[in-house]
Chains A and B, each alone.
Chain A
């Protein structure tokens, strides 16, 4: 029997975490409805910078809805209504004057299924910088290389930058999508079950990548996989039926949860 070596929960690293980090996202009394379906109920969450925050919970608990609300991608669904406040860097993203494009320039997103554009690898990465006005070929070259290196895929694709990104494997495509997101150097990266469509090896690569990226970015990751949350996150929020049941240090959630429902979930009694 071969055993998969699971990276330990890195306690050593967590001791170095500074106590007074500033918040990137402060959610206050967020409610969200799909038509008449009350999907998020009175969410209060305070997400700190340069941390990996994992959101776990059973299917339909609202975790994907919540992460899509953070960059207002949820608004592509016409029937959605929200109330409450999400402060990103102390500004309410629901304000009428708030420019949603500006928010999404600061907050990148990686989706559940890899969704590269049907363009070359190079053009995929350069798309973000280009729409924000960067046209200089030399600078773009640098950005593309830096982003692909950042997403740990440079060595695999450096000789085929002109090829269509759809020729890559699923795991590679997902790292292309991460690189595409890094290319505009966002402040926060939202990941909506980024490894659910990937094989275990690709999953491991993406997880290692998340650990690396934490140095420069704040990462919020939705995951179905509790081991994954335990492996890579600093804080974990447990969602159930549209509510936050518990939000705490990952270690505490997985070793000594304060809510019975959290314990039931992480010990696999439901969900």
Chain B
């Protein structure tokens, strides 16, 4: 119809009929405000959490000396006569798990990323990436039982001296848990290195490995390091795996074969009913939680700093 009589239609007129300037102006003003309110929820929640942490932590330090807390090497909050609150054993426990996890995850994660971005054919990549993502989606409690009932027995069959609850097994499994994070983010960083750069190196007679290690890896370094630091931050905060498989014996030593306790595992222990509301022990979990928060906050800030500072410009 309109095709037969094109002269009859003025698009501008039609637009003028349809549009409602007043309503449009009103919604255009209102929508940003609604969106701002929604966005504020997460910000306010964060502020709320931090304030709760700080408030209860301060209460804790009215009862326990802060200097003793930060430097003490004995953590016996459940001792009947003289409970001691020296956080270092818990920090050491967390560092053991994190250290082992890094040793497992960084080499495997980066090697996986190099393989996926530089060597794998499209078909192989399409097969492996979803598997990695499944690995990332496994609930951590499942990892915990995997550590306790699968990895620990294997370790014990190799070194019979290892205790049932130990740092090594959950450390390895936390490492496995963060591999997908390192591999996937590093692969993204490496894939986004322009092909022109690879061509430049290939044209000089470089092999695939030389291109991967000397061109792509340095060019993607900021992304790789940032992903690693974020993964470390997750390892520090990991709870279920260590609560299930690492035991509950805070100790100030570097032995990884015996039972340990991490900061997160201690909080689980207390919140699952070992202490009543308002006791010193109850407040201690806030102090521990705040310490943990500072650790992960520092890691996240480090990751941001690294990805800005060490970016190779291209």
Interface residue ranges, A against B (CB under 8 Å): 71, 73, 76, 78, 101-106, 108-109, 111, 113, 115-119, 127-128, 131-132, 164, 166, 177, 180-181, 184
Tell me, rounded to whole Å, the shortest Cβ–Cβ distance linking B311 to chain A. Answer: 9
Complexed CA–CA distance, A241 and B247 (Å): 73
Complex contacts, B215 vs chain A, CB 8 Å: 117
Complexed CA–CA distance, A264 and B215 (Å): 45
Tell me, rounded to whole Å, the shortest Cβ–Cβ distance linking A25 to chain B. Answer: 16
Per the 8 Å Cβ criterion, residues 195-210 of B in contact with A are 195-207, 210
Complexed CA–CA distance, A111 and B206 (Å): 16
**B197 near A131: Cβ-Cβ < 8 Å:** no
**B207 near A101: Cβ-Cβ < 8 Å:** yes
Complex contacts, B206 vs chain A, CB 8 Å: 101, 104, 131
Complexed CA–CA distance, A106 and B203 (Å): 10
Q: How many A-B residue pairs have CB under 8 A?
A: 74
Tell me, rounded to whole Å, the shortest Cβ–Cβ distance linking B118 to chain A. Answer: 12
User: B218 an interface residue at 8 Å Cβ cutoff?
Assistant: yes
Sampled A-B contacts (18; CB under 8 Å): A73-B199, A73-B203, A102-B205, A104-B202, A104-B203, A109-B203, A111-B199, A113-B196, A115-B196, A117-B201, A118-B218, A118-B219, A118-B312, A119-B312, A127-B204, A131-B207, A164-B313, A181-B204
User: B314 an interface residue at 8 Å Cβ cutoff?
Assistant: yes
**B312 near A180: Cβ-Cβ < 8 Å:** no
Complexed CA–CA distance, A156 and B280 (Å): 70
**B218 near A111: Cβ-Cβ < 8 Å:** no
**B314 near A71: Cβ-Cβ < 8 Å:** no
Among candidates A73, A103, A115, residue contacting B197 with C-beta atoms closer than 8 Å: A115
Complexed CA–CA distance, A73 and B198 (Å): 11
Complex contacts, B33 vs chain A, CB 8 Å: none
Q: How many residues of B contact A (CB 8 A)?
A: 23
Among candidates B121, B202, B312, B313, residue contacting A73 with C-beta atoms closer than 8 Å: B202
Closest 9 CB pairs of A and B: A105-B205, A109-B203, A118-B312, A115-B196, A104-B205, A118-B314, A128-B204, A115-B200, A101-B205
Complexed CA–CA distance, A71 and B201 (Å): 13
**B202 near A76: Cβ-Cβ < 8 Å:** yes
User: B214 an interface residue at 8 Å Cβ cutoff?
Assistant: yes
Complexed CA–CA distance, A177 and B203 (Å): 11
Complex contacts, B195 vs chain A, CB 8 Å: 76
Interface bits B213-236 vs A (CB < 8 Å: 1, else 0): 011001100000000000000000
Tell me, rounded to whole Å, the shortest Cβ–Cβ distance linking B87 to chain A. Answer: 43
Complexed CA–CA distance, A241 and B218 (Å): 41
Complex contacts, A177 vs chain B, CB 8 Å: 200
Complexed CA–CA distance, A166 and B200 (Å): 14
**A111 near B313: Cβ-Cβ < 8 Å:** no
Q: A117-B197, A164-B313, A177-B200 provided; 6 other pairs, C-beta below 8 A? A: A109-B203, A113-B196, A117-B201, A127-B201, A128-B205, A131-B204
Complexed CA–CA distance, A140 and B256 (Å): 47
Tell me, rounded to whole Å, the shortest Cβ–Cβ distance linking B125 to chain A. Answer: 13
Tell me, rounded to whole Å, the shortest Cβ–Cβ distance linking A98 to chain B. Answer: 13
- Assuming the contacts A118-B219, A127-B214, A166-B314, asked whether A132 and B203 have C-beta atoms less than 8 A apart, the reply is no
Q: Who on chain A is nearest to B207 by CB? A: A101
Q: Who on chain A is nearest to B203 by CB? A: A109
**B205 near A132: Cβ-Cβ < 8 Å:** yes
Q: Who on chain A is nearest to B198 by CB? A: A76
Complexed CA–CA distance, A69 and B99 (Å): 49
Among candidates A113, A116, A180, residue contacting B204 with C-beta atoms closer than 8 Å: A180
**A131 near B199: Cβ-Cβ < 8 Å:** no
Tell me, rounded to whole Å, the shortest Cβ–Cβ distance linking A167 to chain B. Answer: 8
Complex contacts, B204 vs chain A, CB 8 Å: 104-105, 108, 127-128, 131, 180-181, 184
Q: Who on chain A is nearest to B312 by CB? A: A118
Complex contacts, A166 vs chain B, CB 8 Å: 313-314
Complexed CA–CA distance, A1 and B101 (Å): 71
Complexed CA–CA distance, A127 and B202 (Å): 11
- Assuming the contacts A127-B214, A164-B313, asked whether A117 and B200 have C-beta atoms less than 8 A apart, the reply is yes
**A119 near B218: Cβ-Cβ < 8 Å:** yes
Complexed CA–CA distance, A106 and B205 (Å): 8
Complexed CA–CA distance, A246 and B168 (Å): 72
